[in-house]
Amino acid sequence: MVRDAFAHMFRREKIIPALVEGESFHRYSRSDMKQAMQESLDAGNPHFSHFGPDANLFGDLEELFESYGENGTGKTRHYLHNEADAARYNSPDMKPGEFTEWQDLPSGTDMLFYEGLHGCAISDGVNLARHVDLKIGLVPVINLEWIQKIHRDIGERGYSEDDVVDTILRRMHDYVHYLIPQFANTDINFQMVPVVDTSDPTFARNVPTLDECVVVIRFCDPEGMEIDFPLLLDKIKNSKMSRRNSIVVPGGKLGQAIELIMTPIFRRLMDGRG
């Protein structure tokens, strides 16, 4: 729904985005990652994960952000999730879990749109956040995040519950040190919050539906962003303010809220280019 909402806006506002996926900047292919994880385990590091700097090319991502900001160019690649991706990116000789070659971004794009885990990361000599003009956090409460992961990994990938819980615990260190701090830096956070019981995330039979959630939307600087709260409250049914900079909307209204909030902000970003 989030991806759709942004796609709708790009189309309506005639914005041509250069899309960059976070996974393109993983350091390792699927098989190399397995090996790297085993090696780090053997070396006594039980916390190696896709959440942390060791498994990602933060430096290359920063370079991309910097060069795009300066002259609208830069290099990216695609991670091939499956056979369909391999076909889509004309890489029939490559296997799922591998990357395409690095390629120049298409020319003539209006903005770079990054979607991934590390768009605002600050760590070890890297500062991605400073290059980003609009930082959006999209994050469920931790209980919901676990439920979603457990369901996906058990239901679609055939892992056992114990395996998934081990993975969650293994990644927790990086989650706390590299993912969470980003949300202190974002301009807008959208946080999905279930209103059904999630006190044992390993047991929840169903992933809470959108109707069983509310979304907390927090603006770092509502005045600076010219956020029109009365308009949002009026247009989004059953929404309410929970703090001076925060509005709560029913889960099913997430897409509508994103479009209402982001359209004027995108317009200003585009106007600012002159």
Partner 1 sequence: MSTKHPIIAVTGSSGAGTSTVKDAFEHVFLRESINPAVIEGDSFHRYNRAEMKDAMAEAEGLGNMNFSHFGSDANLFSELEGLFKTYGETGGGKRRLYLHSEEEAEPYEGLIPGQFTPWQDIPSGTDLMFYEGLHGCVVSEEINMAQYVDLKIGVVPVINLEWIQKIHRDTSQRGYSEEAVMDTILRRMHDYVHYIIPQFKSTDINFQRVPIVDTSDPIIARDIPTPDESLVVIRFRDPDDFGVDFPYLLSMLHDSWMSRRNSIVVPGGKMGLAMELILTPIIRNMLNNKK
Residues that bind partner 1 (CB under 8 A): 137, 139, 141-143, 165, 168-169, 172-173, 176, 180-184, 189, 191, 193-203, 212, 214, 216, 218, 242-243, 246, 248
Report d(CA 52, CA 6) in Å as an integer: 27
Smallest gap from residue 67 Cβ to partner 1 (A): 29
CB of 169 to partner 1, least distance (A): 6
CA distance readout (Å), 108 to 14, 16, 167, 269: 13, 8, 41, 16
Compute the radius of gyration of the chain from its Cα atoms.
20
Q: Which is nearer to partner 1, 7 or 195 (CB)?
A: 195
Question: Is the CB of 198 or the CB of 256 nearer to partner 1?
Answer: 198
Calculate the alpha carbon distances from 43 to 36, 37, 39, 190 in Å.
10, 10, 6, 38
Judged by beta carbon, residue 197 or residue 221, the one nearer partner 1 is: 197
Of 64 and 262, which has the nearer Cβ to partner 1? 262
Least CB distance to partner 1 at residue 201 (A): 7
What is the smallest separation between the CB atom of 198 and partner 1, expressed in angstroms? Answer: 7
β-strand pairing of 240-243 with 75-76? unpaired
In the complex, minimum distance from the CB of residue 137 to partner 1, in angstroms, rounded to a whole number: 6
> At closest approach, how far in Å is the CB of 54 from partner 1?
18
Q: How far is the CB of 271 from partner 1 (least distance, A)?
A: 28
Q: Closer to partner 1 by CB, 78 or 135: give it.
A: 135
- C-alpha 165/C-alpha 148 separation (Å) is 12
* Interior angle at CA 109, CA 112 and CA 256, nearest 5: 60
Which CB atom, from 131 or from 171, has the smaller least distance to partner 1?
Answer: 171
Q: Is 48 helix (H, G, I), strand (E, B) or coil?
A: coil
Query: Rounded to the nearest whole angstrom, what is the least distance from the CB of residue 203 to partner 1 in the complex?
Result: 4
Please give the structure tokens belonging to residue 91: 């890489």
Q: Looking at beta carbons only, is 1 or 176 nearer to partner 1?
A: 176
CA angle 72, 25, 35 (to 5 degrees): 165
The position carrying tokens 């395409």 is 100
3-class secondary structure, 25 = helix
**Angle between helix 142-155 and 161-174 (nearest 10):** 140
Question: Residue 165 or 260: which CB sits closer to partner 1?
Answer: 165
DSSP string, 176-204: IIIIGGGGGT-SEEEEEEESS--SSTTT-
